[in-house]
Amino acid sequence: GNVSTTVAIYIDQACDLLSALATAEVLNRAATAWAAVRAAVVVPSMKAAVVVCLAMSVMLVVEKLSMALVALYVKVSGRTPERIYKWAPLSQDVELGSLAYPLVLVQIPMFNEREVYQMSIGAVCTLEWPYDRLIIQVLDDSTDLTIRELVQEECEKWSKKQRNIHYISRDNRNGYKAGALKEAMDLDYAKKCDYVAIFDADHEPPSDFLIRTIPFLIHNPEIGLVQARWKFENANECVMTRIQEMSLNYHFKVEQQSGSSTMAFFGFNGTAGIWRILAISEAEGWKERTTVEDMDLAVRATLQGWKFVYIGDLKVKSELPSNYKAYRYQQHRWACGPANLFKKMTTEIIMAKKVPFVKKFFLLYNFFLARRILSHNVTFFFYCIIIPASSFFPEVVIPKWGVFYIPIAITLLNSIGTPRSLHLIIIWIFFESVMSLHRCKAVFIGLFDAGRVNEWVVTEKAGNASKTIQTSTAAKKCPNKFWKRFHFLELGMGVLLLISACHNCIFRTNLYFIFIFPLSLSFLTMGSGFVGTYTTQQSS
């Protein structure tokens, strides 16, 4: 019995030794295979990715610098639209009376806008324009019947005050906003109008909006669109809204201004603008093929030879989303839609006969490729993937100008639109880096017509409720269902970046961890829901 037990023990030990040797052999082979793959595939791929990202970075900084120089020249030289185009106030005619003013249509599309419908309708109904020469359409696609009744009552209230206001609702949401605008323009009384102004429900135009914009259209028959700037009423609500203000101020003060001054083209912002109806007709009207129907119409109109004018000192009050989830949905639509439109319109732009080659190049390269494809890709892939991943590959060397100087230049150029928020520039860098994850993903969804390509989620508004102490306090409470606050994509990225930062700090000497550590914390913070505000409705 003792002999058999001893033999069994020796056999077990021999098996363990053979198993250990086999495991060591497997690990050794795996290590050898990884070393071969690393040297033959991974490192060359990383080096190629670095070259591509550096090239995109240079393209992006050149694009931003050129736009900034144009905007600076316009500001310094005082080249206002009134100096470039003919503009004269509408003169009073005693004999014609109000008939001296053109018939103007104003459209207010909305969807379940309980918080802001009164503000937008009230602002439009008090525009300085003869009431008999102004037709107002409230296009209500609300699915909440209570809100429909409230909006209809508001329209009836202004109708009793001699306003020519029409409440229009649909039994479906076909085409979303584009579908509502298109159907409303087909009504007989709308066809009598020469111009149409569009304001989203959270936008409040100043009373002189028509007085200032319509003379451009009357005196310059080549102008098809006049766009005003947005003024953000709730920019100080939280840090997230301050960051958005910085990005959107840059968009208006630099991108829109430079496009208007050089090519007489920019993307219509979907609101706070007024169109010549003939331009819309020649561009074949509103189309529902993407979630950026405003940009779609603008590109088709410019291909017909129409010019656009941006008025930077005409400000329309608007609201920024203060909830992170709502902001993510908005940014998905704003990144996915242009990429999808780029795919669908490339051939159309190339084959257009009414615009010169220079404008075609501007549309394809500057407007679409550089600003709406490369910008999102380089921000995410280079700064959130390639640079952190290079910590694990000493063979991959990224030049200092690509890691530090170009990002600094891009950041400073983006900050010029909002000098008051210059102290938030570091927070802006990391916030935008996190958002680049969603924008980059949305770009590829748009380019490949993937699942969420036509997703349309209306951005939540707080309206005047955000200005009251009671609601503002309640808005900052966390949701009762705590897990709803977590965003696992951001959390996953945060963990990976944290590992990269630790590895870089311990094993490398290039000091990339100084950037990667706060970047990982940004992903973890935003992934944990500690950004923006929460509404009482969401927390229930």
Catalytic center residues: 141, 294
Which residue type, as a one-letter code, is found at position 317?
K
Give the residues across from 316 on adjacent strands.
Answer: 230
Strand order in the sheet with 307-318: 165-169, 134-140, 104-110, 195-198, 273-276, 223-232, 307-318
φ and ψ at 223, to 5 degrees? -85, 130
C-alpha distances (whole Å) from 309 to each of 211, 226, 254, 265, 363 are: 15, 5, 14, 8, 16
CB 123 within 8 A of CB 315: no
Q: 97: left (phi > 0), else alpha (psi -120 to 50), else beta?
A: left
Other residues' Cβ atoms within 10 Å of the Cβ of residue 206: 18
CB 462 within 8 A of CB 322: yes
CB 382 within 8 A of CB 53: yes
Mention every residue, 6+ apart, whose C-beta is less than 8 A from residue 96. Answer: none
Burial 363-384 (b: 16+ CB within 10 A, else e): bbebbbbbbbbbbbbbbbbbbb
Structure letter (DSSP) for residue 188: T
Place of tokens 């779609």: 296
Q: CA neighbours within 13 Å on the CB side: how many for 37?
A: 6
Structure letter (DSSP) for residue 478: P
* Closest by CA position to 139, among listed 124, 160, 129: 124
Other residues' Cβ atoms within 10 Å of the Cβ of residue 273: 23
Task: Report the C-alpha dihedral over residues 420, 425, 431, 436, rounded to 10 degrees.
Answer: 110
Q: CA neighbours within 13 Å on the CB side: how many for 277?
A: 19
Other residues' Cβ atoms within 10 Å of the Cβ of residue 118: 17
Angle at 353 between CA 252 and CA 85, to 5 degrees: 40
